[in-house]
Structure 1
Amino acid sequence: MSITDIRGQILSGATPEAAIGYSDAVSQFAMFSGDPIAAADRLIEREPGLVMAHALRAWLYLLGGEPAGRPAAHAAIESARVLPATLQERGHLAALGHLASGRLHEASRVIEDVAIEQPLDLLALIAGHQLDFFTGNARMLRDRIARALPAWSKGVPGRHSALAMYAFGLEENGQYGLAEQNGRIAISDEPRDGWARHAVAHVLEMEGRHDEGIAFMREDLPSWTTNSFLAVHNWWHLALYHLELGQIDEVLELVDGPITSIAEPQLLDLIDASAMLWRLHLRGVELSQRWHVLARRFEAIWGAGGYAFNDLHAIMAFIGAGRRDLVENTLQQQAFAMLSASDNAGFAGDVGYPLMKAFAAFGEGRYGEAVRLIRPVRSIAARFGGSNAQRDIIDLTLIEAAFRAGDRPLARALAAERVAAKHESPLAQLFARRAGTQECGDCRTVACAKSKAA
């Protein structure tokens, strides 16, 4: 008799105990809690013939995006390929093979077919969902999960994870009401589901409900901060609310505390730190040694040319730290990235490289050049991944560059655009006041005295 996980998915090479352990490890991954890599390692040690334990280990390392994890992922894939496996499991290994070679789009399509055949394969849904995020495929962020939802009736273990992913997909497509509804149901079913909390946090950010967002994130801190490897990113969302409200002291407290105080940060944590420091930099906040510490941390675990979205955030840190050598090296590595056979060639060529040059120009005070480089790519920036909230840094940099370049007509147009999109936003209103005050055309910071007086 075949042994299955808790949702009826056949597991080649499993014992009943290993099937329970595998189900638990996948659940940890879905909620961004615990240590699913350690769980996968224990499974492999006990049951080396468990194909999906090797697959889970490979997915975790490859989706983590850190160069140091790639050898472990390749080893896991090779170990699994020689084992007896079902067609479903072979689908995972085929998708992993594409991902390991940098073919994110092909990996996404292959794992899509796995989930179409087996909609209760939670790992296939998680992996596909993350690939949609990395490739900026907003429609599939939603529809990949929508296709599977009829199979996830009440009582199916882990249903909250499917609802959490669906909520985030809905949010990225502007369906905020339905996104919030699904996200809150998921949280009610499993308060520790970090992805569900993350989805609702995005809704509150997009709708400009910043005070409500602060209350929402602070209402049950232990549920999403304890033993969660998404905690820093959710702290980042909390900091976004405070920043929007101009509460700089609160933002710095979060930056110096949970956002950057982790002893061994993941690459995602460094990206969040860089994104927040750059936003503060645009506001004219003095960041002293924070940039230098962050730049050193990037150097320790990141490698240029792997994924343009990450490279852009690394270059922000290097600009802030005044490390022109690292800025130039990162830019030079893009030439190799754009000639590679990986999908990152397109990510870098279409969006990443122009933005990296634009941010570097901004950092050197060449604001007109920054404007010129950002404008053609801002409307296609989803092609290199990230969320709407993360990519907002592109618009924020463009607006500030227009102000600093003295391009009052463009600054006025961009401010009006932002007010139309976020009319309740204090920051949008601040941009509008600056744009409407002629003497602020050469203003150097969003929080300047002139704009406050306007």
Structure 2
Amino acid sequence: MTTDLLGNPITDSDPQIVAGLNDFIQGFLAYQTQAVTLLGFVDDHPESCLTNTYAGFLWMFLEAPEAPAKAAPYRDRALAAAGTPRERANAQVLAAWVAGDIPLTIRLCEEIARAYPSDLVAIKLAQYHLFNLGDAAGMLRLALHALPEGEAAPYVHGMIAFGYEQCHLMQEAEAAARRALQIEPSDPWAHHALAHVMLTQGRIDEGIAFMEEVAPMWEGLNSFMHTHNWWHLALFYISRDRQADALRVYDAHVWACEKDYSQDQVGAVSLLARLEFAGIDVGDRWQEVAARIAARGPDTVSPFLTLQYLYALCVAGLPEAEALMAAIEARAQEPSHDQAAWAEVALPAARGIVARAAGDMATAARELGRALPRMGEIGGSHAQRDFFEQVHLDVLLKSGALSTAQQVLEMRRTYDPLGIPLNRQLAQVYRQLGLPQQAQAALERIGD
């Protein structure tokens, strides 16, 4: 029987199909653009279970309300087609995902991982869904299923590294990422995992040097990985107050690829916000991002994404913010596996974002403060969810809650001790609190 590039037996033997399946696997694991090759011929092969399954996965990664309808024909073909038990199991994963049953999707992926540990597509797909639920331990568990069979595959160690990092196991995360890079120095997900470690540990200058060194390897990646790794480099630049460099990264990379794609949009939103929080003038950059987001309509596919859409619409003062807020209110009432995340986390956070835009900073601080302790439930990484921490800090400062802001800033200094914008904010807060010695110490840390 024919096998794929990971050694998994596959039913198909047509050279075009085999090449397309391998393109998807390689592209999916390495964030390369050839992942979509099979979309060009899948409609000519309704009998191929795995080709139709992978085509359905690609449509679902659109992360948009229309994605299930786009994926449904491929689900139907995949379920009707003959295939190996592993292929049929993947088709069932697609069916569960299209139906919106994410717990079942994850459960089916883990069954595949246990039975077929070389099916790295199923493992990475499970990690994606667990990530969106904030289940870091689950992410690590799924990735570890790939060992020992996947010891020689860099993508296995990259997945493991990110699982460790999200579990706050930084030493193990760095070791796994560096193992991935020993095997394949260009692995962008390992670069990404190391960036997380260095950011969390306050290794800012080291992070800049490392990410600048590997950045040429991100050319030609899919838009998410290209923009996201540059986004991480921009965070390091912001900490060192390299304003021109951070803006250059935004213009040339973060907001320069697939401007209608969900991940590119929220990357732009969160970076623009961070630039402003650091005192950097972003000019009229909000307008294009918000206009693209407005075109999505009231999109509530993911609470993590939706809150950032709402923030952009509010900052730009677009009327679509009102419709999206109404959609969030309605979504919070719908029975679903993630209703608690919508009703008890996303909804108060959304109310806080809207209050901020209306100038009601006290309400914004209160509502965001309610959401923050459970923000992990809406998905996203620690670094990404820090966006909401910074919005909260911003409204604390604007509402005059200086004592609370001092607490937040000093906690932030534990992982960004020499952060220039952070220490400038601390100096200002200490001056306003009547603590000039502490203010001077903050300025001395950054040479001001």
* TM-score above 0.5: yes
Equivalent residue number for residue 383 of structure 2? 389
Tell me, in whole angstroms, the C-alpha distance in 2 between the residues paired with 1:332 and 1:196: 39
Moved more, 261-270 or 356-365: 261-270
Tell me, in whole angstroms, the C-alpha distance in 2 between the residues paired with 1:370 and 1:143: 37
Q: Give the letter for the 2:248 counterpart.
A: E
Instruction: After TM superposition, give the deviation of residue 100 of structure 1 in Å.
Output: 1.4
Equivalent residue number for residue 41 of structure 1? 39
Q: Give the letter for the 1:377 counterpart.
A: A
Q: Give the letter for the 1:334 counterpart.
A: I
The answer on whether the counterparts of 1:232 and 1:259 sit within 8 Å (CA) in structure 2 is yes
Equivalent residue number for residue 438 of structure 2? none
Tell me, in whole angstroms, the C-alpha distance in 1 between the residues paired with 2:447 and 2:118: 57
Query: How many correspondences in the alignment?
Result: 439
Equivalent residue number for residue 121 of structure 1? 119
1:177 aligned residue (171, 177, 186): 171
Q: Give the letter for the 2:236 counterpart.
A: Y
2:247 aligned residue (246, 252, 257): 252
Matched, 1:276 2:274: no
Q: How big is each residue's C-alpha offset from its partner over 1:33-70, in whole Å with a ceiling of 9 and x where there is no partner?
A: 12312x22245256432211111111222133133433
Equivalent residue number for residue 10 of structure 1? 9
The answer on whether the counterparts of 1:13 and 1:49 sit within 8 Å (CA) in structure 2 is no
Does the residue aligned with 1:272 lie in a helix, a strand or coil?
helix
1:39-438 mapped onto 2 (5 Å cutoff): 39-42=37-40, 44-45=42-43, 47-154=45-152, 159-229=153-223, 230-262=225-257, 264-301=259-296, 303-323=298-318, 325-438=319-432
Tell me, in whole angstroms, the C-alpha distance in 2 between the residues paired with 1:428 and 1:118: 47
What 5-or-longer segments of structure 2 have no aligned partner? 436-442
Q: Percent identity?
A: 24
The answer on whether the counterparts of 2:362 and 2:399 sit within 8 Å (CA) in structure 1 is yes
TM-score by length of 1: 0.90
What 5-or-longer segments of structure 1 have no aligned partner? 442-448
Q: Give the letter for the 2:227 counterpart.
A: V
The answer on whether the counterparts of 1:145 and 1:165 sit within 8 Å (CA) in structure 2 is yes
Q: Give the letter for the 2:345 counterpart.
A: V
The answer on whether the counterparts of 1:244 and 1:427 sit within 8 Å (CA) in structure 2 is yes
Moved more, 369-378 or 277-286: 277-286
Tell me, in whole angstroms, the C-alpha distance in 2 between the residues paired with 1:115 and 1:56: 17
Equivalent residue number for residue 25 of structure 2? 26
Aligned pair in 2 of structure 1 residues 217, 243: CA closer, same or farther (>3 Å)? same
Instruction: After TM superposition, give the deviation of residue 351 of structure 1 in Å.
Output: 1.5
Aligned pair in 2 of structure 1 residues 210, 391: CA closer, same or farther (>3 Å)? same
Moved more, 96-105 or 368-377: 96-105
The answer on whether the counterparts of 2:228 and 2:267 sit within 8 Å (CA) in structure 1 is yes
Instruction: After TM superposition, give the deviation of residue 173 of structure 1 in Å.
Output: 1.3
Q: How big is each residue's C-alpha offset from its partner over 1:179-215, in whole Å with a ceiling of 9 and x where there is no partner?
A: 1222123234223322121111111111111221121
Q: How big is each residue's C-alpha offset from its partner over 1:95-121, in whole Å with a ceiling of 9 and x where there is no partner?
A: 222221222222112211111111110
The answer on whether the counterparts of 1:102 and 1:343 sit within 8 Å (CA) in structure 2 is no
